[in-house]
Structure 1
Amino acid sequence: MIYKIAVQDARYQLDGSAGSDAIHRDPIYSYAVTQLIDDSGITGTGFAFTLGEGNDLVCKAAQYYAQKLVGKDIEEMMADFGTLFRQLADDQQFRWLGPHKGVVHLALASVTNACYDLWAKKRGVPLWKLLTDLSPEAIINTLDFSYLEDELTKEQALSLLTQEQAGKASRESILQTGYPGYDTSIGWFNYSDEKVRENCKKALAEGFTAMKLKVGSVDPERDIRRAHIVREVAGESVKVMLDANQQWNLPNAITICRQLATMNPYWIEEPTHPDDVLAHQTLARQIAPVKLALGEHVPNKVIFKNYLQANAAAFIQVDAVRVGGVSEFLTISLLCKKFGIPVVPHVGDMGQLHQHLVLYNHIAMGHEALFLEHIPHLQKHFVHPARIRNGVYETPQEPGSSCDLIALRN
């Protein structure tokens, strides 16, 4: 039984120009951390991710949600978590502040993720194993399909998961080989051209076969020059992604994306405002065959549904610390599976949580094991940091979701 909660504001100043992009020039990587302590002494840890200011607001909202879980048994709660998730997401006091977005939804992510962490620790297994060992029915009961029924009902989702059961055993080989990663830290926005060049060489030496550069400069020529530097160093066989972090309006995006196409990007990410589905649809048509990726700032399953319906993105970057946590992440992953679109999560949490979720997506849902973003700057703060070797995430073995922070450890 959960008998105590703790919510804490954890902020980490980055070194140098790390983390910078076209919009966020001096981020402070921050977590709104929820801890659920049960009567056996086990602590479930979850968090949402912010860039500093406002992290305290997310913490305050998380406190409100977490308090509602005191006195509940984790196994009983997770047996029908989809119902509880909808009740919390539609809380009459908080829903007006969203619905299903912003401070309150980030807070719900923190609390939801703590629930899944506690559940896995209670069973003594890593989160990926907890999820892959659950029956399709048990997984579906942790999810909320409200507002998706025009595209994916609970029954359809169950059928989809059940069909994928036959291939699970063959896909479990990923647990031995590890999940491929890609390096985002080569090309932060404030890095010099020379630093980008050197970081590309370093990433190649470390075994990465994919990497990402931040674009969105006032002068597009800077973006074009730097993109070609990465392509020159990486070679044609390496996947190179470009990330504009919402910097452009639609006319500018069309023009600049066409110019960037000359270096053969694997995708162009977050080209314009994340709420503008139709702008992305237009852009996707205008710049084809160059592909778009998005999801870092898409807050909920309904907007992802709209993007999929509009055929406006070739890669979905749903983030379990942006949407309402693991539950909504898995719901969106099922929706993407139905549409045949790969899930390549945004990793605002340094990959700690998502390394578990992509394993589940591949093994149980049959999603392609494409790759998972790797950002190394906060690894030293985790009790069990994600392990990357030769550009590949090693499968975590410790119970839980790998989200315990050293400074907050009980």
Structure 2
Amino acid sequence: MIYKTEVKDARFPLEGNAGSDAIHRDPVYSYAVTQLLDSGGLVGTGFAFTLGEGNELVCQAAHYYAKKLVGLDIEDLMADFGTFYKSLSDDQQFRWLGPHKGVVHLALASVTNACYDLWAKKRGVPLWKLLTDLSPEAIVNTLDLSYLEDELTKEQAISILTEQEAGKSDRESILKTGYPGYDTSVGWFNYSDEKVRENCHKALSEGFTAMKLKVGSADPERDIRRAHIVREVAGDNAKVMLDANQQWNLPNAISICKKLSSMNPYWIEEPTHPDDVLAHQTLAKEIAPVKLALGEHVPNKVIFKNYLQANAAAFIQVDAVRVGGVSEFLTISLLCKKFGIPVVPHVGDMGQLHQHLVLYNHMGMGHEALFLEHIPHLQKHFVHPARIRNGVYETPQEPGSSCDLIKF
């Protein structure tokens, strides 16, 4: 039984321009951390990700949600978690502050993720194994499919998962080979050209075959020059992604993306405002065959549904510490499976939680094991940091979701 909850504000300043992009020039990587203390001596840990300012607001909202868990048994809770999740996200007064977005939704992510971590620890297994071993019905019982009924009913969700049961054992080979990673830290926005070149060589030496560069400069020629530096160092066979972090309006995005196409980007990420579905739909048509990726700042399943319906993105980057947690992440992954769109998460957790979720997405849902973003800057703060070797995530073996932080 959950007898006590704690919510903590954890902030980790970065050094040397790490984490910078075209919009967020001076980030402080931060977590609103929820801990669920179980009478059996276990502690479930979950968090939401922010860039510093306002983290305390997310913590306050998480405390409001977390106190509703006191007195509940984690197994009973997770047997029908979708219903409980909906009751929290649709809290009659608190919902007004969203709905399903912003501070309150980040807080819900923190609490939800702590529930999944405690559940896996209670069963003594890593989260990826807990999810993979669940029946399709049990998985769907943890999800809230409201507002998706026009595209994904409960019966359809169960059917999608049931169809994937046949090939699951073959896909479990990923546990031995590891999940491929890509390096985001080669090209933070404030890095010099020389630093970008140096980091690209370093990434290649560490076994990465895919890497990402931050773009969105006031002078587009800077972006073009730096993109060609990465392509030159990485070679024609490497996957090179470009990330504008919402910097451009639609006319600028069309113009600049067409110019950037000369270096053959694997995708261009977050080119304009994340709420503007129709702008992304227009842009996707204008710059084809260059592909768009998005999702880092898309707040909920409904907006993701709209993006999928509009054929506005070729890659979905849903983040379980930005939407309403693991439950909504899995819901959106199911939507993507139906639409045939790959899920390549943004890792606001630095890969800790998401290494479990992409393994389940591949084994349980049949998503392609494409690659997972790797950002190393907070590794030293985790009890069990994600392990990367030769550009590949090694399969985590410890019970839980790898989200326990060293005392802060």
TM-based fold match above 0.5? yes
What corresponds to 1:345 in structure 2? Answer: 345
What corresponds to 1:240 in structure 2? Answer: 240
Identical aligned residues as a percent: 87
What corresponds to 1:308 in structure 2? Answer: 308
Q: Deviations over 1:204-246 (max 9, x none)?
A: 0000000000000000000000000000000000000000000
Look up the SS of the partner of 2:4 in the other structure: strand
Q: CA deviation at 1:407?
A: 1.3
What corresponds to 2:291 in structure 1? Answer: 291
* Residue 404 of structure 1 pairs with residue 380 of structure 2: no
What corresponds to 2:317 in structure 1? Answer: 317
Counterpart residue type for residue 44 of structure 1 = G
After TM superposition, list the pairs within 5 Å mapping 1:65-214 onto structure 2.
65-214=65-214
- Cα distance in 1, alignment partners of residues 288 and 76 from structure 2: 48
Look up the SS of the partner of 1:406 in the other structure: coil
Counterpart residue type for residue 280 of structure 1 = H
- Cα distance in 1, alignment partners of residues 144 and 92 from structure 2: 17
What corresponds to 1:326 in structure 2? Answer: 326
- Cα distance in 2, alignment partners of residues 32 and 350 from structure 1: 14
- Cα distance in 2, alignment partners of residues 173 and 68 from structure 1: 40
- Cα distance in 1, alignment partners of residues 383 and 123 from structure 2: 19
What corresponds to 2:227 in structure 1? Answer: 227
Q: CA deviation at 1:273?
A: 0.1
Look up the SS of the partner of 2:407 in the other structure: helix
Q: CA deviation at 1:348?
A: 1.1
- Cα distance in 2, alignment partners of residues 254 and 376 from structure 1: 32
What corresponds to 2:386 in structure 1? Answer: 386
What corresponds to 2:365 in structure 1? Answer: 365
Q: Deviations over 1:245-275 (max 9, x none)?
A: 0000000000000000000000000000000
- Cα distance in 2, alignment partners of residues 159 and 347 from structure 1: 29
Q: CA deviation at 1:307?
A: 0.1
What corresponds to 1:395 in structure 2? Answer: 395
Look up the SS of the partner of 1:233 in the other structure: helix
- Cα distance in 1, alignment partners of residues 357 and 90 from structure 2: 25
Q: Deviations over 1:50-107 (max 9, x none)?
A: 0000000000000000000000000000000000000000001211000000000000
Counterpart residue type for residue 119 of structure 1 = W
What corresponds to 2:282 in structure 1? Answer: 282
What corresponds to 1:33 in structure 2? Answer: 33
Q: What stretches of structure 2 of length at least 5 have no aligned partner?
A: none
Q: Deviations over 1:7-50 (max 9, x none)?
A: 00000000110000000000000000000001011000000000
- Cα distance in 2, alignment partners of residues 37 and 345 from structure 1: 29
What corresponds to 1:336 in structure 2? Answer: 336
Q: Deviations over 1:287-309 (max 9, x none)?
A: 00000000000010000000000
- Cα distance in 1, alignment partners of residues 16 and 194 from structure 2: 15
Look up the SS of the partner of 1:373 in the other structure: strand
Look up the SS of the partner of 1:68 in the other structure: helix
- Cα distance in 2, alignment partners of residues 284 and 107 from structure 1: 32
Counterpart residue type for residue 336 of structure 1 = C
Q: What stretches of structure 1 of length at least 5 have no aligned partner?
A: none
What corresponds to 2:3 in structure 1? Answer: 3
Look up the SS of the partner of 1:367 in the other structure: coil
- Cα distance in 1, alignment partners of residues 365 and 125 from structure 2: 20
- Cα distance in 2, alignment partners of residues 272 and 139 from structure 1: 34
- Cα distance in 2, alignment partners of residues 13 and 52 from structure 1: 9
- Cα distance in 2, alignment partners of residues 94 and 222 from structure 1: 44
- Cα distance in 1, alignment partners of residues 325 and 151 from structure 2: 21
Counterpart residue type for residue 110 of structure 1 = S
- Cα distance in 2, alignment partners of residues 17 and 200 from structure 1: 16
- Cα distance in 2, alignment partners of residues 94 and 263 from structure 1: 47
- Cα distance in 2, alignment partners of residues 399 and 299 from structure 1: 29
What corresponds to 2:356 in structure 1? Answer: 356
Q: Deviations over 1:133-178 (max 9, x none)?
A: 0011100000010000000101000000000000000000000000
- Cα distance in 2, alignment partners of residues 154 and 86 from structure 1: 14
After TM superposition, list the pairs within 5 Å mapping 1:16-31 onto structure 2.
16-31=16-31
- List 4+ stretches of structure 1 deviating above 6 A: none
Question: How high is the TM-score relative to the length of structure 2?
Answer: 1.00
- Cα distance in 2, alignment partners of residues 349 and 13 from structure 1: 15
* Residue 48 of structure 1 pairs with residue 48 of structure 2: yes
